[in-house]
């Protein structure tokens, strides 16, 4: 039966893709294998994203002009010729780079995995690559391989390590894809290229640069936890996505593939849009990649930092909806993670030290009304959503065999005064306490059917968010 299914898929791929060379076969791993390799990820909830590349040098500014928006796109936005962009490599010497300091920051922030750009759309490899000389070891005075150093620093701390790889776009390899605009009236649509050296054939780029570099990354850096692909433009056909996914899992069966591969290969988990958080809880494994300010790659003029209370809210909001939060830092051209980023992440980490039991390994909310409700349609008649941000909830199942019942964790962002009331409770509340109270002193409870009221102290014990744990009777 299974063979038949594979056969059918191969036939479909072969007939719909005229340029198919070797028909893509679906990964042969079973649902149980997939679930097993996902386990650490489901518990981790919070990861560090790092966008670091040559774009950290111009830091948003090119030839006296400051470019709005995301800084790692500066080569595209300023239409920088390859020869000029290559000059940046000659200047790239981030002597303050300290892999241990970065990994330690991730740990202090309570982040369980770390994913760094190995090659962004600009095509520059931040690792030593034999495949293409436009890389940090061969083309810069720095000559070190930061991915090697980071892999070791993460391994030392038990932080899972993975890399971002832009598989379709490459603005410096002949034939690499380039963003073509959102619609046909977009000026870049007709010809997105700005340098003769970008002309070429995508299949050649894909098979002589993208695939071999991904092979290098999965062969030379120890166990990889995740490969994070991005911007699957039209050229990332199902057939090509299949070749990439197959390569990853052949080399490292336990490595996760994130959701932006291309075609139908959503693989191990889904990726939300950049900085997008769904309105309601969602089943299945998904992740929101997000920024601390308004850029991924370092920009010297972007000081629009989120506040620690907002970060804690977003982390909890995402986890209570069933997702993971992949939060970005953009180190500068010297190799330093901006001080405001460091400070904010440490505050989130301090909060997690007290309240992490309600986050790591917790499941999404069994309620739902706390997320908000449909608002009035906007001027164009499009439906809207009016969020509510008073509280969120996560759950932990009963720990089997211990006789202990499951737990509900209520994150109180707006202190409700002396009573917290929740409707729709399934089960019987046995005990309630605040995680901020090391003694876990029981709070008074009153339950009337599905409605529970807990008596709280007059003031919130934690200014960021106080967590109320309600243990259910077995």
Q: Which residues of 10-21 are buried (b: 16+ CB within 10 A; e: fewer)?
A: beebeeebeebe
Nearer to ligand H79, 62 or 73 (CB): 73
CB of 88 to ligand H79, least distance (A): 17
- Reading the block at residue 97, the tokens are 């780079």
Nearest distance, CB of residue 138 and ligand H79, angstroms? 24
The least distance separating ligand H79 from the CB of residue 81, rounded to whole angstroms, comes to 18
| Shortest Å distance, C-beta 336 to ligand H79 | 20
Q: 180 vs 363, which CB is nearer to ligand H79?
A: 180
Cβ nearer to ligand H79, comparing 124 with 296? 296
Q: Which residues contact 411 (CB under 8 A, 6 or more apart)?
A: 316, 320, 355, 358, 391, 392, 393, 394, 465, 466, 467
Per-position DSSP letters for 320-368, written without gaps between them: HTTEEEEEEE---TTS---HHHHHHHHHHHHHHHHHGGGTTTPBPPS--
Q: How far is the CB of 321 from ligand H79 (least distance, A)?
A: 20
Query: Which residues of this protein are in contact with ligand H79, per CB under 6 A?
Result: 51, 69-70, 72-73, 77, 179, 230-231, 274, 289, 296
Shortest Å distance, C-beta 230 to ligand H79: 5
Residue in 143, 142, 141, 131 with CA at minimum distance from that of residue 170: 131
Which of residues 270 and 346 has its CB atom nearest to ligand H79 in the complex? Answer: 270
- The DSSP code for 317 is H
Residue 341 Cβ vs ligand H79, minimum distance, rounded to whole Å: 16
Q: Which is nearer to ligand H79, 298 or 411 (CB)?
A: 298
CA distance 286 to 254: 18
Closer of 122 and 471 to ligand H79 (Cβ): 122
Question: For residue 372, what are the β-bridge partners?
Answer: 387
3-state secondary structure of 409: strand
Taking the least distance from each CB to ligand H79, the nearer of 232 and 335 is 232
Interatomic CA distance for residues 221 and 255, integer angstroms? 12
Scored b (16 or more CB within 10 A) or e, 51-65 reads bbbbbbbbbbbbeee
């Amino acid at each position: 039966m299974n063979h038949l299914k594979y056969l059918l898929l191969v036939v479909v791929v072969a007939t719909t893709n005229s340029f198919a060379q070797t028909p893509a076969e679906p990964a042969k791993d079973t649902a149980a294998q997939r679930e097993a390799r996902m386990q650490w990820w489901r518990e981790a909830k919070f990861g560090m994203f790092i966008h670091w590349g040559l774009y950290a040098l111009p830091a948003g500014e090119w030839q006296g002009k400051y470019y709005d928006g995301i800084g790692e796109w500066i080569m595209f936005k300023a239409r920088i010729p390859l020869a000029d962009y290559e000059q940046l490599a000659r200047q790239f010497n981030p002597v303050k780079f300290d892999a241990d300091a970065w990994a330690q920051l991730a740990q202090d922030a309570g982040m369980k995995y770390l994913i760094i750009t190995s090659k962004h759309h600009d095509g520059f490899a931040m690792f030593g690559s034999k495949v293409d000389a436009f890389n940090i070891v061969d083309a810069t005075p720095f000559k070190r391989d930061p991915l090697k150093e980071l892999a070791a620093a993460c391994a030392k701390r038990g932080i899972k390590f993975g890399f971002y790889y832009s598989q379709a776009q490459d603005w410096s390899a002949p034939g690499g894809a380039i963003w073509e605009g959102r619609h046909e009236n977009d000026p870049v649509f007709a010809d997105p290229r700005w340098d003769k050296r970008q002309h070429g054939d995508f299949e050649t780029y894909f098979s002589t640069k993208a695939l071999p570099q991904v092979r290098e990354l999965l062969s030379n850096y120890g166990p990889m936890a995740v490969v994070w692909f991005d911007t699957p433009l039209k050229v990332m056909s199902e057939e090509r996505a299949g070749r990439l996914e197959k390569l990853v899992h052949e080399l490292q069966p336990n490595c996760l593939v994130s959701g932006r591969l291309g075609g139908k290969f959503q693989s191990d988990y889904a990726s939300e849009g950049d900085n997008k958080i769904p309105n309601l809880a969602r089943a299945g494994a998904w992740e929101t990649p997000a920024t601390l300010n308004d850029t991924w790659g370092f920009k010297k003029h972007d000081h629009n930092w989120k506040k620690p209370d907002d970060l804690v809210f977003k982390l909890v909001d995402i986890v209570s909806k069933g997702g993971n939060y992949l939060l970005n830092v953009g180190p500068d051209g010297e190799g330093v993670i901006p001080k405001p980023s460091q400070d904010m992440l440490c505050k989130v980490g301090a909060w997690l030290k007290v309240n992490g039991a309600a986050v790591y390994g917790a499941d999404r909310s069994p309620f739902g009304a706390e997320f908000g409700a449909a608002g009035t349609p906007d001027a164009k008649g499009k439906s809207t959503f009016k969020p509510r941000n008073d509280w969120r909830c996560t759950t932990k199942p009963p720990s089997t065999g211990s006789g202990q019942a499951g737990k509900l964790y209520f994150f109180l962002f707006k202190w409700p005064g002396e009573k917290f009331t929740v409707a729709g409770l399934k089960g019987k509340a046995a005990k309630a306490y605040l995680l901020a109270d090391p003694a876990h002193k029981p709070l008074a409870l009153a339950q009337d059917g599905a409605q529970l009221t807990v008596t709280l102290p007059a003031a919130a014990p934690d200014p960021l968010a106080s967590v109320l744990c309600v243990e259910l009777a077995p």
